[in-house]
Copies of this chain bind each other. A is one copy, B any other.
Amino acid sequence: MKKIDSLIQSMLQSYARNADLTNMQAAPLPSKSCVTDLTHRLESLLYPGLTDCVRNSDGMIYAVGNRMSEAYQDMVRLIAISLRYAQTCENCRMRLESTDLPVEEQAEGLAYAFFEKLPTMRDVLRTDLHAAYMGDPAAKYYAEIILSYPGFRALAIHRMAHILFQAGVPILPRMMSEFAHNRTGIDIHPGARIGQGFFIDHGTGVVIGETSVIGNNVKLYQGVTLGALSIPNPDSSMGVKRHPTLEDDVTIYSGASILGGETVVGARSVIGANVWLTHSVAPDTKVLYVPPELRFKSMGTPSPAKN
């Protein structure tokens, strides 16, 4: 026992040394597994006919109502945890004011408002689904997009996280986004504002920053970044618009980077693959590299040995 004991003692000293990192004195935080559970529940509320326990429509109303009650209670609890943390944190950038309203009641109100907005949000998702179906000939069924397109999944979770972010809920929406990032390779900050009919094809490596603004019917390919230019002082740039704006009907091909809070890509413009863009572009513009010269070097006849 001696051996393990000394290891544990020095670990405990390490915790004491860095008590803030271990969060041992502070208010608790939502756990990853709870956020995962909540997000799974919300996803299955959006598309109940596509969830794990398929059943005939008898009793569907009760299954849905039950799942919604559970999701509602989960969300109240996780919002309350998030609020309490943000009202008591030290050394943080976004300390919330305590209010006279008890945290639980605030959380109830925020959760209620979230669920009130869900039906409208589903109407928007329908436009996204249509955009995906029209944008990809490999999509044979609408349901296939819901079940197996990471871009659509990341977007559905983003739209939910964004409702919470807009309402001022701390921490929780960011954790939901990271859940989506983890599952899809697509990293959309919950602060990003995204219009209808949005489609991300393939999607791995896409990054959409916190203050991005995206119009309707925009399409992105894998590896696109909507990012910030260099940031001198993180504390003073919090809340400042640091990421670009894409107007309606813009298409951005894979690997392109659009950077800067004042950069606006005008409506209907097309940005070519791998383009690095740090200034605005007028509507109806196609931006491509002047095709960089390729060097073709014949490697000679393959050696017979290779055969």
Contacts and interface: CB of A to CB of B under 8 A. Distances in A.
Tell me how many chains of this kind the complex includes. 6
- Do most interface residues of chain A lie in helix, strand or loop, or is the interface mixed? mixed
B69 A52 contact: no
A99 interface: no
Contacts of A47: 21-23
Given A122-B14, A170-B140, A205-B223, A297 B288 contact: yes
Nearest to A251: B230
Contacts of A283: 302
A79 B136 CA distance: 24
A138 B235 CA distance: 9
B1 A64 contact: no
Given A290-B294, A295-B290, A32 B14 contact: no
B72 A59 contact: yes
Given A7-B115, A48-B15, A147-B29, A62 B59 contact: no
B118 A1 contact: no
A293 B119 CA distance: 46
**Most chain B CB atoms below 10 A, which of A69, A93, A129, A150:** A69
Contacts of A64: 8, 11-12, 15, 62
A290 B82 CA distance: 46
Contacts of A66: 59, 62-63, 65-66
Interface in A252-307: 254-255, 257, 267-270, 273-277, 281-302, 306
Contact of A60 (B24, B178, B234, B240): B24
Interface string A11-30: 11111011011111110111
A167 interface: no
A223 B221 CA distance: 12
**Most chain B CB atoms below 10 A, which of A1, A30, A133, A281:** A1
A116 interface: yes
A275 to B, nearest CB: 7
Contact of A65 (B59, B268, B287): B59
Contacts of A18: 122-123, 126
B123 A149 contact: no
Interface in A185-208: 185, 187, 189, 191, 202, 204-205, 207
A208 to B, nearest CB: 10
Given A1-B61, A202-B187, A119 B286 contact: no
Contacts of A284: 298-302
A93 to B, nearest CB: 5
A47 B11 CA distance: 11
